Amino acid sequence: HKAIQMPEKEQKARNSVLQKRLERYNVEKWANDFMRSLTEQRDKDPTYVAQRLSVDLTNTLIKEYRDAKHRLLFLDYDGTLAGFHNDPQKASPDRDLYKLLDQMNALPNTDVYLISGRDKETFGKWFLKKKYNMIVEHGVWLSEGGNEFTMLENVKKDWMEKILPVLESFVDRTPGSFIEEKNYSLAWHYRNTDPDFGQKRASELNTVLRSLIANDDLSVLNGNKVMEIKSSNVNKGRAAMRIFTRNDYDFVFAIGDDWTDEFMFQELPDTAVTVKVGRQKTQAKYYLDSIKNVRDLLSRFIKK
């Protein structure tokens, strides 16, 4: 009744506000808000804890892997294949990891992709000559078989001029923190800060950033001692699905350790084997305790 009696001028004003919200609040922004709400719900709901990948489950998994005719594997890097380092550039692959990845890359009927938030320059330096398949910057860039990186997504970077000064102000006020400038994203690292102080500053920055990007097509990702700002239409799940839909795979495996990998666990089909590193609330079906466990499992994929 109130809507019917409302003056036309007020109706137009209210509709204008709604239209502007719909323009800003597109499907990508809705999806990211949904994932954030889901993460918050997991913190309250113990049922979101994955099942430990026991000896029996691992044996079943290995059998499924060996019986498959066309396999697809997505492997996160930091915190999954390699440990964290105070300087991200120094978290380079060790000899054993190179050997493991070389063997995996040579597996018949198996497509292996390293999938990471890392910049393409770093991964190019570490892996391009090895001819590994790589998806970097959360899905912006793709390199296959040693070819140069090409863009999977067309994303803008003009927003960085607005966000960078904010991050710089937090670096000035947070000793030990630093900024990593990637091609299409910005990351604020606080691993080297005082733990309590760094976490406090991270919470403050999170609030500031979410207010700043409210009308932009951007997302804030909270990783392991790092906060990253990137385009909302780019994530690991979207990139993984682009690869998955190319071929008829009968075994799909994805493993990762932090919040950015949840998009991958969510997007891949229900038949996929999804594994979280660390016992955390997650969308993944299973979890492993450590990087050593991850490498041990991958080593079993190689054995005949």
Alpha-carbon gap, residue 137 to 304, rounded angstroms: 34
Instruction: Specify whether the CB–CB gap between 229 and 185 falls below 8 A.
Output: yes
The gap between the terminal CA atoms of the chain, to the nearest Å, is: 73
Q: Which residues contact 159 (CB under 8 A, 6 or more apart)?
A: 213, 216, 218
Which alpha helices (DSSP H) does 25-113 contain, by range?
Answer: 27-44, 55-67, 95-105
Torsions phi, psi for 220 (to 5 deg)? -110, 120
Catalytic one among 76, 78, 119, 257?
A: 76
Q: Which two tokens stand for residue 48?
A: 């979101």
Number of neighbours of residue 125 by Cβ within 10 angstroms: 12
What whole-number distance in Å separates Cα of residue 286 and Cα of residue 288? Answer: 7
Active-site residue flag, 217: no
Please state, as a whole number, how many other Cβ atoms lie within 10 Å of the Cβ of residue 88. 18
As a 3-state breakdown, the chain gives helix, strand, coil percent values, each rounded to 5, of 45, 20, 35
Point out the residues that are catalytic: 76
